[in-house]
Structure 1
Amino acid sequence: MSDLREKIIKSSLQLFSDKGFHGVTVNDIVNHCDTSKGGFYHHFKSKDELLYVIHDTFISYVLNEANQAKKCYDRPIFQLHEMLKALVRVYDLYNEHIVVFNQENKYLKENYEILIQKKRDNYKEILQEVIKQGQELGEIRNELPTTITNMAILGMVNWTYQWYKKDGPKTIDEIASTYIDIIFSGLLTTEALEEYRASKLSMTDI
């Protein structure tokens, strides 16, 4: 990503957060980051595309991390561990993006909303597939409905943006470890939980 593109995104995040999407013009953005309209339109077709990119950045991150977890680990409990770590870390890496997303997502144009929703659905499908495979292998409690379990995990973690502070008493990885401990204690079978707690991945969470 070019320095100017990153600078435009950073300025827009601050301005959208302070004034709202409709309260900010392209002129406001280019003045804030000390560039020209030509510089802006070289990287973005419109302010609408810029809002889409803000949304897409963090959604693409968690989706890529989920796919990577599937490639790197052949056990559902370890895939889920890595997916949860990345899902929590996104609130530190892209905190401003997520705040703007939750504040301004109603202004996303339909064509961009479709693209974002496709990635969100893809992530949910991967998570649900991991849960289902974990149940088939006896790692995740079979009596838990996969769809409700999926939504419960996402609902729990997605609320992080409401209270997480970068300068808070706990690091993002410590928060991720707490989430994983709570979720795994409820999801895993006794044998799988014991195996996980004895694993190297569990040791990295301490």
Structure 2
Amino acid sequence: MSELREKIIETSLQLFSERGFHGVTVNDIVEHCKTSKGGFYHHFKSKDELLYVIHDTFISYVLNEANRAKKRYDRPIFQLHEMLKSLVRVYDLYNEHIVVFNQENKYLKQEYEVLIKRKRDDYKEILKEVIQEGQELNDIRKELPTTITSMSVLGMVNWTYQWYKKDGPKTIDQIASTYIDIIFKGLLTEEALEEYERSKLSKELVF
């Protein structure tokens, strides 16, 4: 990513957060960046595309991490561990992006909304598949409805943006470890939980 492109994104995050999407013009952004409109339009077709890029950045991150976890581990419980870790870490890496997303997503143009929804749905499907495969291996309790379970996990973690602070009493890895501990003790069978607690990944948890 070019230095100017990154600066435009950082500036727009600050301005959108303070004034809202419609309270900020391209002129405002370029003025704060000390660049020209030509510099802006070299990187973004419009302010609408800029809002899309802000949304897409963190959604692409968690989706890429989920696919990486699927390739790296054969066992669903280890895939789930890595997915949860990255899903929580996104609130530290892209906290401003997520705040702007939740504040301004209603202004996202339909063409961009379709692209974002597709990636969100892809992530939900991967999570659902991992849970289902874990149930088939008797690692995750079979009596738990797969869809409700996956949506419950997302609902729990997605609320993090409301209260997480970078300078808070717990680090993002400590928060991730707490989520993993709560979720695994609720989802895993006794045998799978015992095996997980002996694993290298479990030893990485910090509280």
Structure 2 counterparts to residues 47-196 of structure 1, below 5 A: 47-196=47-196
Distance in 1, Cα, partners of 2:167 & 2:5:
27
| Aligned mates of 2:160, 2:181 — CA distance in 1 | 16
Aligned-pair CA distance for 1:32: 0.7
**TM-score, with structure 1 as normaliser:** 1.00
In 1, Cα distance between equivalents of 2:194 and 2:29? 53
Deviation of 1:199 (Å):
0.5
- Structure 2 length normalisation: TM-score? 0.99
In structure 1, the residue matched to 2:11 is 11
Runs of 4+ in 1 over 4 A off after TM superposition: none
Structure 1 position 191, deviation (Å) = 0.4
Question: What is the rounded CA distance, in whole Å, between the counterparts of 1:169 and 1:36 in structure 2?
Answer: 42
Tell me the SS of whatever aligns to 1:17. helix
Name the SS for the 2:5 alignment partner: helix
* Code of the aligned partner of 1:7: K
CA distance in 1, matches of 2:35, 2:196: 51
Structure 1 position 99, deviation (Å): 0.1
Q: Separation in 2 of the partners of 1:132 and 1:64? A: 20
CA distance in 1, matches of 2:202, 2:78: 9
Paired position in structure 2 for 1:38 = 38
- Give the percent of matched residue pairs that are identical in Structure 1 and Structure 2: 83
**Structure 2 CA distance for aligned equivalents of residues 204 and 69 of structure 1:** 16
- CA distance in 2 between counterparts of 1:63 and 1:163 reads 23
Distance 1:118 1:48 in 2: 18
Distance 1:46 1:188 in 2: 47
One-letter amino acid of the structure 1 residue matched with residue 118 of structure 2 = K
- Give the distance between the partners of 1:26 and 1:203, measured in 2 at CA: 49
Q: Distance in 1 between matches of 2:205 and 2:3?
A: 34
RMSD after superposition? 0.3
Deviations 1:130-165 (A, max 9, x none): 000000000000000000001000000000000000
**Aligned partner of residue 181 in structure 1, secondary structure:** helix
Q: Which SS does the other structure have where 1:166 is aligned?
A: coil
Residue segments in structure 2 that go unaligned for 5+ positions in a row: none
